[in-house]
Amino acid sequence: MFAAIKDKIFADLGLEDVNAGLYDGDWVSTDGRSTLDVISPINGEKLAAVALAGEDDYNIVIEKAWQSYQVWSKIPAPQRGSIIREIGDEISKYKETLGLLVSLEVGKTRVEGMGEVQEMIDIGDFAVGLSRQLYGVTIASERPNHRLYEQWHPYGVVGVITAFNFPCAVWSWNALIAAVIGNVVVWKPSPNASLTAIATNRICSRVLERHGLPPIFFLMVDEGRTLGEKLAKDVHVPLLSFTGSIRTGRQVAQNVASRLGRSILELGGNNAAIVSDKVDMEIALRGVAFGAMATAGQRCTSTRRLILHEGIYDEFVEKLTNIYKKVKVGNPLEEGVLVGPLINQRAVDAYRAAIQRAVDEGGTVLCGDEVVQPAGCEDGFYVRPTLIEGSPSMGIVCEETFAPILYVLKYSTLDEALQIHNGVMQGLSSSIFTTDLRESEAFLSLHGSDCGLANVNTGTAGAEIGGAFGGEKETGGGRESGSDAWKAYARRQTVTINYGDTLPLAQGVRFDV
């Protein structure tokens, strides 16, 4: 089955045994270039090789991107929106195939792979609507015969660095919105998801070619941080969006800030779900289970801490443990599988190390703690979702491990639960499960959840595109996707027009000559 699916994907998407990982307006020749093997986490099989971009290619890409910007930015925004609409339609044609490629390359289940592509389509729709709503504001001027207003202009070239866990959706959050504003995008994807990036870029670029337009989506694949560091340090990249670890994000932020550039950072999450004793048990169990186990715990919004009221603690833990023991772990291409593989062996090692550290710090493993080898996938990277009873004082509980590990913590009062909840340095997503209005409103109040995303009776994972996405504290503070997050991809300009025949000054200042 695996080989047949792979062959169909490669045929539909035009992928080859060796694929160009550099698009500078043309797909460059792979001859003589260093290559990176793309390994599927499902079974350890090599999918293909990618010919890498090098440092010598970087300046060419940036120069061509600025040339494209001179053309693209002069096209009226509604017309840019029309092009983005066609890009969304083109992506729709490949939803199944591209979704399967996501599954093959990063190990998502079929439905999650399809959902990721649907997210790109939805973002395209959002961007189309946005193309006719790039509003400024008119401001009352204190001076007679003056008009004061704000307008927004594109930055020019926007760099986008994405992680493996959402190999194309997060790119679209940035790229399609940035493009409809008039920007051109240079993408450096995770080397663990380079085939998905190549296929996505090809689909989008074909639409531009049909219209005789210059390329607006450029692509550079490397196997390390060299090109990412160049993007962060380059004054010719006014805005850089980075998704990844807190440690790397901190360095990116420093490099961008040192040249007074702009950055959008979406970094780590250590998300918690508070479950009250006043709860719909079924909803809470489903919400916590999905939040903790979806994408094998490799979402930045994955639930990593369960803060559980003492009054229902034993009952809830027993029921959740039964769910964990029954959940099917295996080949994500198979029906009924809910938990696929981790991305690579390093992730498996991190899973095992985190569990051992939790035990060393006094935690108790309730279930899981197992590396598994599903039939036919013996060389894949599978682990059993793990529940660990612990304490907020455990150091490992305050850290993010990109694996399906859920720490179960007990509380007695809501104030205690909120203190535990906010007692970590990450601040991305949060949730509370309660039918008590006072509890939910307290959770959403100024002194409630300190995260960028707050949910009531739904899990920490699975945000909709219409709301701005991002977090606080060490999560970075950036916002992407919906609402008015588009303003991050544009520079604000305040305009003053004097249409009178005198020159009055603001604040009553006089300057008579």
Q: Where are the domains of the chain?
A: 2-267+476-492, 271-464
* 481-511 per-position pLDDT tens digit: 999 999 999 999 999 999 999 999 999 999 8
pLDDT recorded at residue 459: 97
Can you give the pLDDT at residue 252?
A: 98
Active site residue 266: yes
CATH number assigned to the domain covering 271-464: 3.40.309.10
When pLDDT is averaged across residues 454-481 and rounded to a whole number, the result is 96
pLDDT at position 1 over 80: no
Q: Could you tell me what percent of the chain has a pLDDT over 90?
A: 98
From the candidates 105, 112, 266, 389, which is the catalytic residue? Answer: 266
Task: Give the integer Cα–Cα distance in Å for 5 and 281.
Answer: 39
Q: How confident is the model at residue 394 (pLDDT cuts 50, 70, 90)?
A: very high
- Is pLDDT above 80 for 91? yes
DSSP secondary structure string, 230-277?
HHHH-TT--EEEEES-HHHHHHHHHHHHHTT-EEEEE----EEEEE-S
CATH classification (class only), 2-267+476-492: alpha beta
What's the average model confidence in pLDDT over 104-132?
98
* 406-449 tens-digit pLDDT: 999 999 999 999 999 999 999 999 999 999 999 999 999 999 99
Report pLDDT digits (tens) over 198-254: 999 999 999 999 999 999 999 999 998 999 999 999 999 999 999 999 999 999 999
Q: Can 451 be counted among the known catalytic residues? A: no
Mean pLDDT (the chain) is: 97
- Catalytic residue among 300, 377, 400, 439, which? 300
| Helix, strand or coil, per DSSP, at residue 107 | coil
The whole-angstrom separation of Cα 97 and Cα 87 is 16
Check: CB of residue 48 under 8 Å from CB of residue 101.
no
Give tens-digit pLDDT for 69-81.
Answer: 999 999 999 999 9
Q: pTM of the full predicted structure?
A: 0.97
Query: pLDDT grade, residue 512 (50/70/90)?
Result: confident
**Residue 486 CB neighbour total at 10 angstroms:** 22
In 3D space, the residue among 313, 273, 289 whose CA is nearest the CA of residue 457 turns out to be 273
